[in-house]
Amino acid sequence: MTALNGIGVAVIGTGFIGTVHLGALRRLGVNVTGVLGSDAARSSERAEALGVAKGYASLDELLSDPAVQVVHVTSPNHAHYPQVKQILAAGRHVICEKPLAMTAAQSAEMVDLARASGKVAAVCYNIRFYPLNQQARGMVAEGALGDIRLVTGQYHQDWLAKDTDWNWRLEVEAGGALRSVGDIGTHWVDLTSFITGQKAVEVLAELTTFIPERRKPTGPVETFASAGAARTVPQRIETDDAAQILIRYANGAKGMMSTSQVSHGRKNALFWDISGAKGSAAWHSETPDHLWLGHRDGPNQILQRDPGAMNALGAAAASLPGGHVEGFADSFHAFFRAVYADIAAGGRSENATWASFEDGHYEMQFCDAVLESARSGRWVRVGAA
């Protein structure tokens, strides 16, 4: 077993999510060797601003550093496939932001490369690691809800609700053909599949672009920041602002989900509601310390996150006592804690609950099916689009 402070880690990407990774890694106690930005100047500038010892000039330089054993990939979506391939070829463990790739063809190859490498390869579906989502998985596994019948919910945000809002995810070349589905939608799909143990087998989808033209800044804009008074040029938008998707699961259960990045007032609103033959459960990311439990023949309940009142899976993901709210940044810490425990032990543990490249590939198959369904107007089988 390797001590965590003996593991060297580098982070690719120095924007919003890269800094979230960096903060969780520091809390975990691993050795952050440096960061890689979009170019050498950006790397140097951000390394100094973030208090990191080194800003790598290139991925080649990063991978030539013998101190680096693990690489976190938080770059734009189009870079995941080539960067992960190079990282695995260099014999490093990798933790990649979602979505894993741009297409299922790319993610299938990445799965094969990860298996052949023998390295830990994880996808950053951190929302699994809100403790009450782990609790819900344990409850479903032990039969507390009975056979799953209906899975519904949404993931809505408002950070792209104005035509002056801009981010690289808006462009097909950088973010992929799907935006609201590929970005936040895959979180919902991964989370509900993780909790229920059921994967979608068919989808029927409608995609909508409510803002067909936006004002693109002539300079860079950080995620969740508006273009504001920056100089802009008009840009045609081809990616989805919102989606409505019907789902059929392998066990006969049905699902309904929506995604939106243009819903005013919804800052980071992931909601799921799972109904089974014995009971129901629901959770909302903006009130993450409460799990609603629904009953037919008795009072409904609210389970407050409290390690002493939770099952083993839920308690293991928690860091703070009950009443001390755990939020977004804490989910990254819990996720990384689980992954790095496996890295230190030499490989993925039998009972690991973090998302693998196989999981990331399934999400890409889901996305490909959604895109084909939206284009054809028919049900499409996941994995056969």
pLDDT confidence band for 228 (50 / 70 / 90): low
Task: Give the rounded percent of residues in the chain with a pLDDT score beyond 70.
Answer: 97
Distance CA(26)–CA(71), nearest Å, equals 14
Q: In terms of C-beta distances under 8 Å and separation of at least 24 residues, what long-range contacts does 107-110 make, across chains too?
A: 107/357, 107/360, 107/361, 107/364, 107/365, 108/361, 109/81, 109/85, 110/81, 110/84, 110/85, 110/357, 110/360, 110/361
385 contacts 369 by C-beta, under 8 angstroms = yes
Q: What is the pLDDT of residues 317-372, one digit of tens each?
A: 999 999 999 999 999 999 999 999 999 999 999 999 999 999 999 999 999 999 99
Residue 115 above 80 pLDDT? yes
Considering the domain 128-340+350-356+360-376 in this protein, what is its CATH number? 3.30.360.10
Q: Sign of torsion, CA 319 322 326 331?
A: positive
Instruction: Say what the pTM is.
Output: 0.95
Residue ranges of E strands in 30-98:
31-36, 55-56, 70-73, 93-96
* Domain coordinates in residue numbering, the chain: 4-126, 128-340+350-356+360-376
Mean pLDDT of 104-112: 98
Residue 229 above 60 pLDDT? no
Cis omega (within 30 of 0) on the bond before 99? yes
163 contacts 211 by C-beta, under 8 angstroms = yes
Mean pLDDT, rounded, of the chain? 96
What is the structure's pLDDT at 231? 86
Listing DSSP states for 259-298 in one string gives EES--TT-SSEEEEEEEESS-EEEEETTSTTEEEEE-SSS
Q: What is the pLDDT of residues 120-152, one digit of tens each?
A: 999 999 999 999 999 999 999 999 999 999 999
pLDDT confidence band for 384 (50 / 70 / 90): confident
Mean pLDDT of 233-252: 97
CATH topology of domain 4-126: Rossmann fold (3.40.50)
What is the structure's pLDDT at 225? 61
Helix (H, G, I), strand (E, B) or coil at 13: coil
Q: What is the pLDDT of residues 27-78, one digit of tens each?
A: 999 999 999 999 999 999 999 999 999 999 999 999 999 999 999 999 999 9
Residue 221 above 70 pLDDT? no
